[in-house]
Structure 1
Amino acid sequence: MNTFVWLTWRQHRWTILATASLALLAAFTLVSTEGGKVGSMMMAGFYGLLAQLLFGGVISMFWGAPLIARELEERTYFVAWGQDVTPTKWLRGKMLVLGPLAVLLGALVGLGDGFGGPQESWGMFEASPFVQGGYAIFGLALGVFIGLLSRHVVTAMAATLVFYTLARVLPAVLLRDHYLPSKRDIARWESTPVVPHRGLEIGNGFVGADLRPVSVPDKCAELPNPNSCMRNTKTAIGTYVDYQPIERLGLFQFIEFIVFVLLAGVLFAVTFRLLRRGGGWKPSRSHRRIDSVAEPAQTVQSTPDTAAAHAEG
C-alpha cells in the first residue's frame, strides 16, 4: 500500500499541489475578510467566495475526469492494470489517497464566509467545511465515473463540468430550502406575519377559517391590492408566511453534506461495478480490429520464407 500511495503522489503531485495552493489562498482570503469589508481585501473576499462556488468543479474536472479517461485514451491501462493490479484494486488505491485529500481541501475552503458578517446567514450556506467537503468528494466521484464512460480526457472534463453544475444548481433551487418542513407564522387582518430575525422566507399567502392556505380568486387577483378583496369577501381571515429559522442552518448544511456523500457513494459503486465487469475499459471493436490487422502484418514481416520470397521477386 505504501508503494501505491507513493506512486499516486508521484503521478498527481503537481495537480494536488496546485489545488492545495488554491484552497489555501481561498481559505486565507475568506477568513481575512470575514465580518465585513477590510480595506483592500474587499476583492480578495469576493474571489474567495467564488472559489467556494467552483472548488468542487475543479476537483471533478482536474482530479476525477482524467483519472481513468487518460489511461483509456492513451491505452496505458494495459500496463497499469496488469495481472497483479486489477482495475478495481488500482482505482481503490487511487481513491484512498485522492478521496481524503479532496475532502480535506474542500473543508479548508469552507472555513471562512468572506463578507458574511459575524452572524450566521442563510446567504452564506456554502461557507461550511461539511458542505464544501461533500461537494469535493462528489465532484471526484462524478469525474471518475464520466471519465470511465467517455474514455476521452477533454470530453470527460467538459461533460463533468456540465453535470457537476447541474448537480449543484438543482438541489440549491429545488431541495435545499425544504430539507425539513418549514415553520409558519399566521396573522389576522389586524397584524402582519413576521419572519424571525435572519430567518429564510419560503413563501406567503392567505389563510382561511381553518388556518390553511387558500387560493386567490380571479376577481381578487386582478386588483392591485388583493388583500381588501380577500377580506371583504371573507375568503380569508388573514395572511401567513412560511420560513426556515436560522437555528436550522447548521443542520441543513449537514443534510446537504450527507446528500452529496450518498450521491458520491452511488457513483463510486457504479464505477467499481463497471470496472469489475469490464465495461468501458476493455478494447472496443475498432481497437480489436486494428490489433487483429496489425498482428498478421507483423507476423508476415518476421517470417523468413516471406522475406526470401520478396527477395526473389
Structure 2
Amino acid sequence: MSVLTPPRADTVTVARASLRGSVRVLLRVHRRSLWAAGGLLALCLAAVPGLLLWVKSQSSKELCPDGDMTPCGDDTYLATPARSVTESYLASGGSVVLLLSVLVGAFVAGPLIARELESGTFRMAWAQSVSPARWLAARLAVPAALGVAGISVLCLVYRWGWTEISGDGNTYGLAWFSASVFPGIGPVAVGYVLFGIAAGALCALLIRRMLLSMAATAVVLGVVIAAFTKRRWVLWPTERALDTGWTIDGNSWVTVWGMLTPSGEKLRWENCSVILGDTPAADCMKARGGVTPFTDYHPASHFWPLQLVETGILLALAALAAFAAFRVLRRLHG
C-alpha cells in the first residue's frame, strides 16, 4: 500500500527545488551577460542626471526661463550646448527602450534557448528531473523578472529627465507623442520587453538555430514596433475641432486636418497641395467642395489611454506567444 500511495508533499518539494535550481543555473551560466546588461543599464541611468546637472551648471548663461541665451522676446532662440545635447539625447529615449527590448528578445531567442537546443545541452537538464515545461518556464521567468525591473527603473528615470527638460517650454523633438519618446515614458515599455521575451522563446523553439532565431526575433519585433508607430493614433478616438483659426494648444497631437464637404467627407490639406502644386491649398480645397475647416487631434489627456491600450495589446500578444511556445515544446518533446 505504501508503494501505491502518491507522495504529494515530496513531489511538491522536488518541483519547487527544480525551478529554483534551474534559475540558479541560468544566473550562473549567463552571469557575464547579466553583468554586461547591468552595466549598460547603469550607464543609461547615470546619463540622465549627469546631463541635467550639466544643464544646471550652464544655467547662468540663460537669460530666459525657457533656456534662451538671447534676450527674451526676440525672434532668436539659442540654447546652451548642454541643453542642446540633453534635448537630443532625451529625444531618443523611447528608441533606446525599444532597442533594449529587441536585445532582450534576441538574447532569449539565441543564447538562452536556441543555443541549448542546437547543441543538445538541454538533455542534461531534462535528465536531472527537470521537465521540459519547467526548463522553458525558468528561461522565461528570469529574463521577464530582470527585464521588467530594469526597464521600469530606466523609464522612471527617463520620464523624470524628460519632464525636467520638456517643462521649460521651448524644446525640440520632446513631444509626448513623438515616436522616439512615447515608448519610454509609460508602461508600454514593459509590454515591449515581455512581448520580446515571449516572441524570442517562440522563434527559438520553432527554428532551433541560434543566429536565425535571433534574426527572426528582431524582425518580428521590428514589424510590431513599426506597426504601432504608424497606427498608434487609431488606438483611441480622436477629438475634432471645427474652426477657421488655430485654437489647439501645442501639446496636442494633430493627426488629420483639412476641410469637410457638405456630405461630411474629409479633404486633407496635404493631398490637395500635392495634386495641384503651386495652386493655393485653400482654393484647391474649395474647388473640391470643402466648406468647413477641421482638425482631428489627441490632446495631452489622451496620453494614458493610448499607453494603456497599446500595453494591453502587447501583453495579450506576449501571452499568446508564450502559450504557443509551450505548445510547440510539448509537441516536439512531450
**TM-score where L is the length of structure 1:** 0.76
Partner of 2:217: 160
Residue type matched to 1:9 in 2?
Answer: L
Choose from 95, 112, 117 the match for 1:67: 112
Residues 278-303 of structure 1: CA distance to partner in whole angstroms, max 9, x if unpaired? 2xx69xxxxxxxxxxxxxxxxxxxxx
Partner of 1:228: 283
Q: Secondary structure at the match of 1:122?
A: coil
Pick closer, same or farther for the CA change 1:27–1:258 going to 2, 3 Å.
farther
Q: Secondary structure at the match of 2:242?
A: strand
Aligned residues: 275
TM-aligned CA deviation for residue 170 of structure 1: 1.6
Residues 187-206 of structure 1 aligned to structure 2 (within 5 Å)? 187=243, 191-206=244-259
Pick closer, same or farther for the CA change 1:7–1:125 going to 2, 3 Å.
same
Residues 47-196 of structure 1 aligned to structure 2 (within 5 Å)? 49=93, 51-82=96-127, 84-111=129-156, 112-113=158-159, 117-119=165-167, 121-123=176-178, 124-174=181-231, 176-187=232-243, 191-196=244-249
TM-aligned CA deviation for residue 11 of structure 1: 2.1
C-alpha distance in 2 between matches for 1:33 and 1:215: 41
Residue type matched to 2:44 in 1?
Answer: A
Residue type matched to 2:33 in 1?
Answer: T
Residue type matched to 1:197 in 2?
Answer: G
Q: Secondary structure at the match of 2:317?
A: helix
Pick closer, same or farther for the CA change 1:56–1:71 going to 2, 3 Å.
same
1:246 aligns with 2:300: yes
Report if the CA contact (8 A) 1:36-1:115 is conserved.
no
Among all aligned residue pairs of Structure 1 and Structure 2, give the percentage whose two residues are the same amino acid.
Answer: 24
The alignment's C-alpha RMSD in Å is 3.2
| Displaced runs of 4 or more, over 6 A | 215-218
Report if the CA contact (8 A) 1:206-1:240 is conserved.
yes
Q: Secondary structure at the match of 2:184?
A: coil
Who wins on radius of gyration, i.e. which is larger?
1
Residue type matched to 1:224 in 2?
Answer: T
Pick closer, same or farther for the CA change 1:262–1:138 going to 2, 3 Å.
same
In structure 2, stretches of 5+ residues that fail to align are 1-15, 57-80, 168-174
Q: Secondary structure at the match of 2:236?
A: coil
C-alpha distance in 2 between matches for 1:248 and 1:44: 24
Q: Secondary structure at the match of 1:249?
A: helix
1:15 aligns with 2:69: no
TM-aligned CA deviation for residue 74 of structure 1: 0.6
Comparing 158-167 with 177-186, greater Cα deviation is found at 158-167
Comparing 155-164 with 54-63, greater Cα deviation is found at 155-164
Choose from 29, 43, 46 the match for 1:28: 46
Residue type matched to 2:226 in 1?
Answer: V
Pick closer, same or farther for the CA change 1:172–1:29 going to 2, 3 Å.
same
1:46 aligns with 2:89: yes
Residues 63-105 of structure 1: CA distance to partner in whole angstroms, max 9, x if unpaired? 3333221111111122122272221111112322221111111
In structure 1, stretches of 5+ residues that fail to align are 283-313
Residues 197-235 of structure 1: CA distance to partner in whole angstroms, max 9, x if unpaired? 3101101121133555258999x953611423544x592
